[in-house]
Chain A
Amino acid sequence: MSSPADLADQGAARATARTDSFDGLRLENVTKSFGSFTAVDDLDLDVPRGSFFALLGPSGCGKTTTLRMVAGLETPTSGGITLAGNDITYAKPYKRPVNTVFQSYALFPHLDIHENVAFGLKRRKVGNVDAQVTEMLELVELESQARKKPAQLSGGQQQRVALARALINKPEVLLLDEPLGALDLKLRRNMQLELKRIQTEVGLTFIHVTHDQEEAMTMADTVAVMNAGVIEQMGAPQELYENPRTTFVANFLGQSNLIGGTIKSRAADVVTVDMHGVDVSIPAARCHADGDEGWIGIRPEKVLIGDPGEQLDAPGNSIPGGVVTDVSFVGVSTQYQVRMPWGQEIQVFAQNTGHRRIYRPGESVELSWRPDYAFLLDASQDAKAGAQEGTD
């Protein structure tokens, strides 16, 4: 397995590989304002051809506006959009090889399923419509429903019709606007796998807009985290999760403990930070702080919990003086809240492997983590940005 630091390097290499022969979808300096409100702010984005790309962010972050600009349903206030080198910034929606699966599905209620799916082909005067529609309905396993009206189908079936109706046109880019939002959890999981399977099968570029971080990570090979009209960070799901660059990404994608610290020394490959009297080291590639202060970030499942003085997975940073304040047993893991000497509560997820006992509230513990897993973020950022409790 490649280490998180390697993944970060790959990300940097990909970012510099913007060449003119780029055949995917490119957004350059795109800004969209509605009156005084800037929904999308100077956005640059490259979506490689054939990738499953997720645009992830909280509601109101500009992700749907971005999608609508790609579809042609909104025009950028400034900037340009190119698809395989062709400028499509101002092209009409019916003139671009882009199709959308709408959040509400937007199936035509007066047409049956077959007619809905055939709609795009018929408008383009393509031949052999019936055979193609039948084939597409087979792909989404709805061939027996072809003569029904949309209202006669269940939510999951309607979702698949919406997908078939867009896919049949073999667009260069398929846009999915939170298409799974209306489905219940179980159906959503099935549809996630289904979508991923279809994408692999047809090999089209998919851009999936979602506010569900788990969905984005499961399905996409590249995730762009969007906040307040700008992209905070973009990369492979694992890269984003393991090495977030901003507090927003650290909190929005999974959970993070963010602990204030003062940078003591910067070496070529390692940065040493004073964390409330304990020296912790962080690989230089995982340091995204400019000043002398920073937020030390560590994922709850990377934190090990043990008895005071116990040797935990050396060579780790070892932080003594914790007291367990809350324990939740959730089956696969136990989630602890540990109050540290400086008053902050640190979240710890311990796998229930059976090798270790479960601590009770009030017990003194020592925490530890491998330096490789920690990351350092700029102190100027809000440590609560993107946290799930704070936003809702």
Chain B
Amino acid sequence: MRWLREHVVLILGIAILLYTFIPIFVVVLMSFNDPSSRLIYRFDGFTMDNWLHPCEPEGLCSALGTSIQISLLATLGSTILGTLMAFALVRHDFLGRSSMNLLIFLPMATPEIVMGSSLLALFVATGFSGQLGFWTILIAHIMFCVSFVVVTVRARLAGMDDNLEQAAMDLYATPRETFWRITFPLVFPGILGAALLSFSLSFDDFIITNLNAGNTTTFPMYVWGVAQRGIPMQVNVVGTVMFAISVLIVVGGELNNRRRSKALATAS
């Protein structure tokens, strides 16, 4: 009893971790599954087939390719636009700046189903109903990612000491050199974070995409579609790879931080 009371936090912690990670373990495990039937979701035997032939199910790899293309382009577009907006909002005083600061939050606060259907209404009303597809998805994704980029980059920029840029100019750096040698490297972690966030938001999106996709199929739409007929095990391969990539990014960042704080500790 006493032992339990002392370790309750630890036990709860492990339980919550398990609760979060069990679905991911299942995904990893299922990527090695050799199912006896498409309709029964059960681990029947170990195989490497799913990993060796990930494109075997019809449509999976083309959907994945579409998703990756859209996500990369959406990340690029929203990161550039959002970064420029963040600079404008932090560095320049213009009419309507404070209302702009509020409006930026609107796409984040709007329910996706509302935003998706109003976008569809917009596309139809402006005569793009026949062209729904890759480009309309991309426009929609850039739109909802921009807000997240602005918020992330703005926070980083606002936390930066203005004196640094003044010091650079005082030390003979032209405005261009000041930007590329001081401002940009210091804001870059914020931009990188924003880009990663945009990529995962875009890759993941289903509701808005589904409403504006026309005949185009993205990976989440593919999974949704095949779920009714039994999910092919290759979907788990894609899931595992995505998970592994995110873990690598997080671990890499953490190692980098640790190296830095270790250097700090040895110095003082």
Residues of A within 8 A of B (CB): 71-73, 92-95, 98-100, 102, 104, 106-110, 119-120, 123-124, 148-149, 151-154, 165-166, 169
Q: Which residues of B contact A (CB under 8 A)?
A: 161, 163-164, 166-174, 177, 181-182, 185-186, 263-264, 267-268
B170, A152: Cβ atoms closer than 8 Å:
no
Residues of B within 8 A of A110 (CB): 185-186
Q: Chain B residues near A95 (CB, 8 Å)? A: 172
A152: which B residues are within 8 A, CB to CB? 263-264, 267-268
Q: How far is the CB of A111 from chain B (nearest CB, A)?
A: 9
Chain B residues within an 8 Å CB radius of A98: 170
- Which residue of the partner chain, among A73, A104, A120, A151, contacts B171 with CB atoms under 8 Å? A120
A99 contacts B171, C-beta separation under 8 Å: yes
Q: Which of B166, B171, B177 contacts A165 (CB 8 A)?
A: B171
What are the residues of chain B within 8 A of A108 when measuring CB–CB?
A: 164, 167-168, 182
Contact across chains for B163 and A94 when beta carbons are under 8 A apart: no
How distant is the Cα of A119 from the Cα of B26 in the complex, in angstroms? 54
B164 cross-chain contacts in A, Cβ below 8 A: 106, 108-109
Cβ contact of B186, chosen from A109, A166, A169, cutoff 8 A: A109
- CA separation between A380 and B23, bound complex, in Å? 84
CB within 8 Å for A99 and B163 given contacts A109-B186, A152-B263, A152-B268: no
CB distance from B58 to the nearest CB of A (A): 49
A119 and B267 contact, Cβ closer than 8 Å, known pairs A102-B163, A108-B182 = no
A108 to B177, CA, bound (A): 14
- With both beta carbons as reference points, the residue of chain B lying nearest to A102 in the complex is identified as B163
Q: What chain B residues lie within 8 Å of A120 (beta carbons)?
A: 171-172
Please provide the 3 A-B residue pairs with the shortest distance between their CB atoms, ordered closest to farther. A152-B267, A106-B167, A106-B163
Alpha-carbon separation in the docked complex, A153 to B167 (Å): 19
Closest to A71 in B: B170
Expressed in whole angstroms, the minimum distance between the Cβ of A159 and any Cβ of chain B is 14
Kindly list chain B residues whose C-beta atoms are within 8 Å of the C-beta of A107. 167
CB distance from A198 to the nearest CB of B (A): 18
Whole-angstrom CA separation of A148 from B268 in the bound complex: 11
Docked Cα-Cα span, A107 to B161, in Å, equals: 10
Query: Which residue of the partner chain, among B163, B169, B185, contacts A93 with CB atoms under 8 Å?
Result: B169
Offer 21 A-B interface pairs, CB within 8 angstroms, sorted by A. Answer: A71-B170, A93-B169, A94-B169, A94-B170, A94-B172, A94-B174, A95-B172, A98-B170, A99-B171, A102-B166, A104-B163, A107-B167, A110-B185, A110-B186, A119-B181, A123-B174, A148-B267, A152-B264, A153-B267, A166-B171, A169-B172
User: Residues of A contacting B177 with CB < 8 Å?
Assistant: 123
Alpha-carbon distance between A109 and B188 when the two chains are bound, in angstroms: 13
Contacts of B181 in A (CB 8 A): 119
**Which of B161, B170, B172 is A73 in contact with, Cβ under 8 Å?**
B170
CB atoms of B267 and A123 under 8 A apart: no
The answer to whether A124 and B172 touch across the interface, beta carbons within 8 angstroms, is yes
Residues on A with C-beta less than 8 A from B161 are 104, 106
Nearest chain A CB to B136's CB is how many angstroms away?
40
CA distance A106 to B163 in the complex (A): 6
Assembled-state Cα–Cα distance A148/B161 (Å): 20
Residues of A within 8 A of B174 (CB): 94, 123
Chain B: minimal CB distance from A144 (Å):
11
User: How distant is B258 from chain A, measured CB to nearest CB, in Å?
Assistant: 15
A123 & B173 in contact (Cβ 8 Å cutoff): yes
Q: Residues of A contacting B182 with CB < 8 Å?
A: 108
Contacts of A102 in B (CB 8 A): 163, 166-167
**How far does the Cβ of A153 sit from chain B's closest Cβ, in whole Å?**
7
Tell me whether B268 and A100 are in contact (CB under 8 A). no
**A313 to B181 Cα, complex, angstroms:** 67
